[in-house]
Amino acid sequence: MNAKPIVTVLAGDRPVIGLEKLQEHAELRITDIAGLGSALNGADVLYMWDFFAEGLQDVWPNADALKWIHVPAAGVDKLLFPELVESDVVVTNARGIFDRPMAEFVLGGILHFAKGFGLAGERQRRQHWKSWPTTEVAGARVLVAGTGSIGRCTARLLRAVGMDVDGMGRTARAGDRDFGTVHASADFAKVAGGYDYVVLAAPLTTATERMVSRTVLEAMKSSAVLVNVGRGKLVDQDALVQALQARRLGGAVLDVFETEPLPQDHELWQLDNVLVTPHMSGDSQNWLDELAAQFESNFHAWRQGKPLANVVDKRLGFVPSDC
């Protein structure tokens, strides 16, 4: 490549970080979703800094020279419309950036219920001095649905505090280096009852949508806690609300929802056995800088004709791992 490639940057509410170092190597077009159509004309690369944005499909005919789309997020489910999947455009994501923050978030959610931190906050506000029995997490059994990099980092952290962790993926296997036993997703309802905590860290695909069905929820222990840091549509949300309201489930830590932001009149806001957070499990003090550095590194590899990191299998909907 002799001429400077054109990089269209879809900006959002957050300031775009890290473009200064690319200015001498690329022609940058920074746009919002309203201007995306014209900004795509002749562009080689689309950097979707606003990774929650929708509307690329509407202007896809303008992507007449596009070769690569980078999404600075782990999940790409909002992006993979049929025309893109069938095209030669390469898609990469931010695999690896969010692993440790999300693993720590999962552990925090588990401790929230095991130690009764929600009750602590409620009694503190009432200045009510009364203790309660807590639960040890060491020895508790955890099922992590999703055996990619986020699920593996989560498994390693939970094992470090003494928890017994298994995995769930597309196929069953034994002797996995991080999970030991990996169950097949098709067996979710058969095995769910054996765990104290069920963690969802899977990508959203046609195969995983509503993987936590009413049947799975009914199979879980009445004391079990569901932790979802994947996507809201991994769960039958109506069935989950009913299970929580009826106390057929011990609790839920929910960072993602079918509709985001979670509507203000939604029942989940009011349930005392639910911890609601605003899709922030991967956020950390350094995440924006790390996302910028990752794209810069991949951009220079692309300019030099080297293989790109974190290439998404557009038909599977995620970056294939080595497992």
Active-site amino acid positions = 231, 260, 279
E strand residue ranges, 134-235: 141-145, 164-169, 173-176, 180-184, 197-200, 225-228
Distance CA 212, CA 144 (A): 12
Helix 149-160 vs helix 99-114: crossing angle, to nearest 10: 50
Alpha helices in the chain (DSSP H): 36-40, 82-86, 99-114, 117-125, 149-160, 188-191, 214-219, 237-245, 287-303
7 touches 27 (CB < 8 A): yes
111 touches 223 (CB < 8 A): no
Beta bridge partners of 251: 225
311 touches 90 (CB < 8 A): yes
Nearest to 100 by CA among 229, 276, 233, 257: 229
- Dihedral sign for Cα 107, 249, 149, 52, please: negative
Nearest to 99 by CA among 74, 77, 79, 70: 74
- Dihedral sign for Cα 80, 240, 266, 135, please: negative
Backbone angles phi, psi at 30, to 5 degrees: -95, 125
Helices and strands (DSSP H and E) totals, the chain: 9, 13
